[in-house]
């Protein structure tokens, strides 16, 4: 939360909601593989802990991006799915994916920066 102060730029609030920690893989998994249970998400994301997964799912549910359905069976069952509002993020995610080829450029920039810095390239 409050990842980037809104006074600085108008898109900061959107970033706070959509790109706060763990939300991207969660929304992606729900969008990609559809409605699924808690454990499925847990296994798919792998490095997330149940506590944090719960926190993030609650947050996403509160923001209306994710729908939670509870089945009072034994053993209990809960299913999560992306909401319509969540699906409206599609174009945004597509824009992300379209930019990803530039990751190579970033990698290259990092390497040459590191070389420059190692040899004391900075003037100040």
Residues making contact with a copy of itself (CB under 8 A): 3-5, 7-15, 17-19, 21-25, 28-29, 32, 44-48, 61-65, 70, 72, 76, 78, 85, 88-89, 91-100, 102-103, 105-106, 108-110, 113-114, 122-124
- Which residue, 84, 75, 73, is CA-closest to 31? 84
51 binds DNA (CB under 7 A): yes
Binding mask 29-48 for DNA (x = CB under 7 A): --------xxxx------xx
- Which residue, 64, 69, 95, 96, is CA-closest to 80? 69
Q: Which lies closer to DNA via its Cβ, residue 37 or residue 110?
A: 37
Q: Which lies closer to a copy of itself via its Cβ, residue 35 or residue 85?
A: 85
Give SS3 for 110.
helix
Identify the DSSP state of 114: H
Q: How far apart are CA 47 and CA 104, in angstroms?
A: 25
């Amino acid at each position: 939360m409050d990842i980037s102060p809104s006074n600085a730029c108008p898109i900061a609030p959107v970033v706070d909601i959509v790109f706060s920690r763990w939300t991207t893989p969660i929304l992606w998994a729900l969008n990609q593989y559809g409605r699924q249970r808690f454990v499925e998400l847990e296994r798919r994301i792998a490095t997330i802990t149940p506590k944090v997964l719960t926190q993030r799912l609650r947050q996403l549910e509160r923001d209306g991006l994710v729908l939670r359905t509870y089945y009072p069976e034994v053993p209990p069952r809960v299913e999560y799915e992306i909401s319509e509002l969540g699906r409206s993020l599609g174009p945004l995610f597509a824009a992300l994916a379209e930019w990803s080829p530039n990751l190579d450029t970033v990698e290259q920039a990092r390497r040459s920066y590191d070389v420059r810095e190692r040899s004391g390239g900075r003037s100040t």
